[in-house]
Amino acid sequence: MKRRKFVNIMCSSYIIYNFLPINFAYSNNSKNIINTSLSDSQKNIMFNEGTEKPFSSPLNYEKRKGFYHCANCDAKLFKSDNKYDSGTGWPSFTEALPGAFKTKIDYSFGMKRTEYHCAKCGAHHGHVFNDGPGKNGKRYCNNGLCLIFKPSD
């Protein structure tokens, strides 16, 4: 009886020290994973502020009419009418749908840039710059892996 109790205590400690920290890490708001089939590359961009290789996304060449949704939570983020070829190698847009994103100043790599996150799930999508060709002068530089394109017809 005494031995079993000891084993139980040891097992509980093992569980607390080895598994709980991971659960806590994934349950906080900064890692709000809704789509459980996201790949490691998608998770790295969306929750660790990563960036995909330029010219790697097939969405660079997407020309159909439709909407671009968040790959994590499915929120509608961009309209195809606002997509353009910026030559940077990342899907680029002159404007986002109203309320789609929240922005934050990012000082990494010695640069001051404005990064944006999905307003619904908090996932990182890209950076917005003031050199866009549209009337508001914005260029949303979005990682293709964070987007799901849904054609309208």
Q: How many of the chain's residues bind Zn ion (CB under 5 A)?
A: 8
77 is a contact residue toward Zn ion (CB under 5 A)? no
Instruction: Tell me the closest approach of the beta carbon of residue 78 to Zn ion, in angstroms.
Output: 12
**Residue 98 identity:** P
Q: Could you give the strand order of the β-sheet that contains 147-151, starting from the edge strand earlier in sequence?
A: 76-79, 66-70, 147-151
Q: Is 141 a catalytic residue?
A: yes
Smallest distance from Zn ion to CB 9, Å: 42
Residue 118 is a binding residue for Zn ion (CB under 5 A):
yes
Report, in Å, the least distance between residue 13 CB and Zn ion: 37
Radius of gyration, alpha carbons of the chain: 20
Give the residue, chosen from 70, 141, 145, 147, that forms a contact with Zn ion under the rule CB under 5 A: 70
d(CA 141, CA 124): 12
Using the contact rule CB under 5 A, the part of the chain among 12-20, 58-66, 75-83, 131-139 near Zn ion is 75-83
Indicate the residue among 71 and 141 with the shorter CB distance to Zn ion: 71
State both tokens at 109.
Answer: 């790599």
Considering the complex, state which of residue 87 and residue 98 has its C-beta at the smaller distance from Zn ion: 98
Give the whole-angstrom CA distance, residue 20 versus residue 23.
Answer: 5
Q: Is the dihedral of CA 95, 147, 76, 66 positive or negative?
A: positive
Cα 77–chain centre separation: 12
Binding site for Zn ion (CB under 5 A): 70, 72-73, 75, 118, 120-121, 123
